[in-house]
Structure 1
Amino acid sequence: MMVAASRRIDTSNFQERAADGLREMIISGELAPGQPLSEITLAEIFGISRTPIREALKQLQIEGLVEIRPRIGTFVTVPSRREINELFEMKQLLEGGAARLMAARGDIPELTAMKANVRAADAAVEAGDVERYSELVHEFHEILIAGADNGKLATHYRLLMNQLAYGRLVKTSLAQPGRSIESEHEHHTVLELIIAKDGIGAENCMRRHVHASQQALMSQLETWPPPLHTP
């Protein structure tokens, strides 16, 4: 029996690789909301059998990124407007708390990184480079979470960002005229309050910033949700 067991193929690594790859494709927007997911096609893309693909899709369903509809198919999840609003409400709480925690830590490496991020973002806004600025927005929020130095907060935040597919939504919110300039001004204010070690002020400002981003996003999603594809 030991010999037979040693010959078994461990598919856990294949499943993890597929889940990581699919997660990134969904978060980045490469796989659009409502897009059908074929096990056969995905198996060919990842060069593995359908079994680890099937298990990876089940894992992503638990994470809220994939919807498996029995006898119909598997699709990239399309969050409702209500779900997006609820996720942003949670984002306000987590990022507001992160700003307060970071402000209490004083002169830390993340503070230096945040200052550099804001300088780079200023240049991107001035140049009208929305693509670069959207990348720096994502980086700013990542620095904020790292600066909080709270593992539990970071874990919940990561799951939340995955469900929001935030990279795609940032670009959508920044499509609102003037939003990039407003957003960068809000980042400046948060940074100044963190430097001043004003935890409560930083938390409240960060929550207002997230709320403003939420409003900008929802104004751009007039046709949301998109229709769910069917075979």
Structure 2
Amino acid sequence: MVATSRRLDTSNFQERAADGIRQMIITGELEPGQPLSEVSLAETFGISRTPIREALKQLQIEGLVEIRPRVGTFVAVPTRRELNELFEMKQLLEGGAARLMAARGEVPELTAMKENIREADAAVAAGDVERYGELVHEFHEILVAGADNGKLAAHYRLLMNQLAYRRLVKTSLARPGRSLESEREHHTVLELIIAKDGIGAENFMRRHVQASHQALMSQLDT
């Protein structure tokens, strides 16, 4: 029983560390390419190095961390090809989510999406890019939840983690005029979903993701 309890404790510590480090990467607190010290992370989370080491291995599988033998462990830096491939998958998943949500009619997520867009309109009008970036992330989360498809949501969550999407949103919105363009695109997606035009919603959502991708890449090239 004691051995089993220790294994459970180690597993819980590993899960807590993985969740914490993942959030630090996604939010940008840990930047791409930044070295990760097992000792420092162990001190941060108040646990031993063993669960930290296992957590980093888990995050390597998720594509968030790169472990280089005899060199060190680093926050992963996606290549341009990887970013392009991830956004291609984002188009497919979010396009499919828009189609599925449109087929569901009046669901709670539709109400949430309308409220999200009302708040986003106000943020854009006020020039509050920081708040608008948060609402962009929320919009896409609502869309995926509205699809009511657990498998799609699971794949989407892994994809968003690999993209560290919240950080990338800030980069793409830094392009002049992109916030206003993005909000107009969100309005169109909502209108198509309300109209129960699944095919139209899917196609336009893909175009919206492509536009965000292009805005991001243009900022990375500057």
Same fold at TM > 0.5: yes
**Aligned 1:73-92 pairs, distance under 5 A:** 73-92=72-91
Question: Do residues 149 (structure 1) and 138 (structure 2) align?
Answer: no
Q: Which residue of 2 aligns with 1:33?
A: 32
1:71-96 Cα shifts (integer Å, max 9, x gaps):
00000000001100110000000000
**Aligned 1:46-195 pairs, distance under 5 A:** 46-195=45-194
Greater relative contact order: 1 or 2 (C-alpha under 8 angstroms, separation 6 or more)? 1
Shift of 1:163: 0.1
Q: Separation in 1 of the partners of 2:5 and 2:134?
A: 45
Whichever structure has more helix as a proportion of its residues is 2
Q: Which residue of 1 aligns with 2:3?
A: 5
Shift of 1:7: 6.8
Q: How large is the Cα RMSD of the aligned pairs?
A: 1.1
Q: Separation in 2 of the partners of 1:40 and 1:19?
A: 15
Local SS of the residue matching 2:73? strand
Shift of 1:222: 1.7
Q: Which residue of 2 aligns with 1:209?
A: 208
Local SS of the residue matching 1:177? coil
Structure 1: tracts of 5 or more residues without a match? 224-231
Structure 2: tracts of 5 or more residues without a match? none
Letter in 2 for 1:93: L
- Normalised by the length of structure 2, the TM-score is 0.97
For these two proteins, the number of residue pairs brought into alignment is 221
Local SS of the residue matching 2:36? coil
Shift of 1:149: 0.1
Shift of 1:8: 3.7
Q: Which residue of 2 aligns with 1:227?
A: none
